Each structure stands twice: as C-alpha cells, then as structure tokens.
Amino acid sequence: MDQAPGSPQGPHEQGPQDAQSLPTCYRHPDRETGIRCTRCERPICPECMVSASVGFQCPTCVREGSGTGHPPTATQPRTLAGGTVTTDPRLVTKILIGLCIAAYVVQQTAGDRFTERFELLGRAYVPLLGSVEGVAEGQWYRLLTAMFLHGSVMHIIFNMLSLWWIGGPLEAALGRARYLALYFASGLAGSALTYLIAEPNKPSLGASGAIFGLFGATAILMRRLNYDMRPVIALLVINLIFTFGWPNIAWQAHIGGLVGGLVVGYAMVHAPRERRALIQYGACGVILVAVVVMTLVRTVQLT
C-alpha cells in the first residue's frame, strides 16, 4: 500500500523495505510469498507450489519438465533411495514374514513330502518322491521356494525376528519396490552360491540368504548416513560366527546373500538421481545374471 511521505504507518500497513522483501506470486500478483521455484526462481504462493525432490517447483516448470500439457499434480514425497513414502513403511516386511510363517505351517501339516518337494536340492534320489530330484533336473523353482521354508521352530523364530528388526527400517528407507528387489536378489544369490559349491545331495532351506543381504544393505545405508557402524558390524560378526561355527548351516547362502545385498544396497543408496532407477534395478539385473550363470555352470557339472 502506497503511503505519502511523512505520514505515519498503520498497524497493518507495509513499509517500502518490507514490500521489497516479499515479492508476489507470478501467477497470483495479489499474494505475497517468500518461496521461489527451484528451477526458474520465480516467486510462487502455496497454491502454486508443487513438491519436488528438492524444494518446490512452479506449475509451469513441472508441466514443461513432464512434456505434457496436462495440469501438474503434486508429487509424493520420496525416500532416500527414490522410493515412494507410504503410510505403512513395513507392509512388505509383514507380508514376507506372513508368507514364511504360512509356509512353515504347511510344512508341519503336509509332512516331509512338501518340504522335500520345495527345499533347495542340487541333485539326489529322494525315496519319498521315488525319483531323482533337484535343480539340476530342471527344478529351478527350488532356488526361490527354499527361501520361504524353515527346518525348526527356532530356525523360523530367529529368522523372522531378524527380518523384522533389519527389514522394517530398511524398507522405510528404500521404499517397497526397491526393498523387494533387494530381498529377492540377495536370496537368489545365496541359493545360487549354495547350489554351485555345496554338496548336491545335501538339502538346504531358510530365509537367511535374503536376510544377510539386508544386513549388507543396512551397513551401506548407515555408512551413507554417517551413523555409528559399530552396532550393525557387531551384529553381522556375531551372525558370521554362528554361520561358520554352528553345524548344519549353509554358509554358502549367507555369504552369497551378503555379497548380493552389498552390491544392490550400494546401488540403491549411491545411485545419482538422474539415473537412479537405471542403476538401481540394473544392479539387481547383474545379480540375477550371476545367479543364472552359476546355476547353468553347476547344472552342466552335475548332468
């Protein structure tokens, strides 16, 4: 509001310096604002603000950036890895735990025949099935189904507690799709390494390979955020001691899952924003190619 020289300012009137410090929105000239578009730097009011990965953009820049003539819509907030922030950040973890528990219930009710049909087995004669079974016989599904089976109550309790403690926060940090890709890439890497170097007639099962992958990705994430690494390192060391010091544990699955988790986790956390999805899912693709190669090599050896 203009004011004559020498006249007193009213309680709601604005002096020249205040007027200069608060520009008006370029789309609504009657609205003052202190926010500017991060792309064109034009002032925008709250009605025109569109959430971006950093700051806010104006509707014009969002429309030009999308290459469409449609009115822009506000983008959803993103996680550190570029995933969508959801109302239930542990939903996938809950589903995975539910699937493992359901599979264990079926194991207990259906008997050994069910477990022997879906556990990880390289190549062996199975008396209950009356035939030679295993991945080498073309049963590649065992690489996946074994990730949801467990051998005892303590086995599934320990794995599910680890999945809840490690997987929940990691899912919230990565987003559902990226977390799920990490989980399966790590689990399959563990299964493939087990198939490659373990005795072919020795079955194995459990979600440990995927969980060790989550351990590796958690370490990468904590390093990226400059958090204290000692707790996760101590927990990982304890698990590795159990891996190599406890009998009847498929250490190959743990090591394979850990390596897969480190590779995918690094890509998830450190991928540059402009090529984020390509690098993140490309790393998952590299792990899956390694899984296929290891599986083919071992199959040729056994057959």
Q: How confident is the model at residue 126 (pLDDT cuts 50, 70, 90)?
A: confident
State the pTM of this model.
Answer: 0.73
pLDDT digits (tens, 9 = 90+) for 162-174: 999 999 889 988 9
Q: How far apart are the C-alpha atoms of 250 and 284, rounded to whole Å?
A: 23
**Would you please indicate which residues are annotated as catalytic (active-site) residues?**
208, 254
**Residue ranges of domains in the chain, CATH in brackets:** 1-75 (no CATH), 91-302 (1.20.1540.10)
The residue written with tokens 């394979």 in the block is: 256
Q: Say what the pLDDT of residue 145 is.
A: 96
- Burial tier of 62 (Cβ tally within 10 Å: 0-12, 13-18, 19+): buried
Mapped onto helix, strand or coil, the DSSP state of residue 50 is: strand
Q: Say what the pLDDT of residue 136 is.
A: 93
9 vs 142, higher pLDDT: 142
Residue 219 has pLDDT above 70, yes or no: yes
The dihedral through the CA atoms of 277, 281, 286, 287 has a sign that is positive
Region 33-52: mean pLDDT is 80
pLDDT digits (tens, 9 = 90+) for 195-208: 999 999 999 999 99
What residue type is 255 in one-letter code?
I
Report residue 165 as tokens. 């403690």
- Beta bridge pairs of residue 204: 120
Q: Do the beta carbons of residue 241 and residue 194 sit within 8 Å?
A: no
Q: Do the beta carbons of residue 255 and residue 196 sit within 8 Å?
A: no
Q: Where are the alpha helices (DSSP H) in 126-175?
A: 142-145, 153-162, 168-174
Q: Say what the pLDDT of residue 74 is.
A: 46
> Which of the residue ranges 27-31, 112-116, 208-212 would you say has the lowest mean pLDDT?
27-31
Q: How far apart are the C-alpha atoms of 182 and 108, rounded to whole Å?
A: 29
Q: Would you give the distance in Å from CA 12 to the centre of its chain?
A: 52
- Beta bridge pairs of residue 84: 78
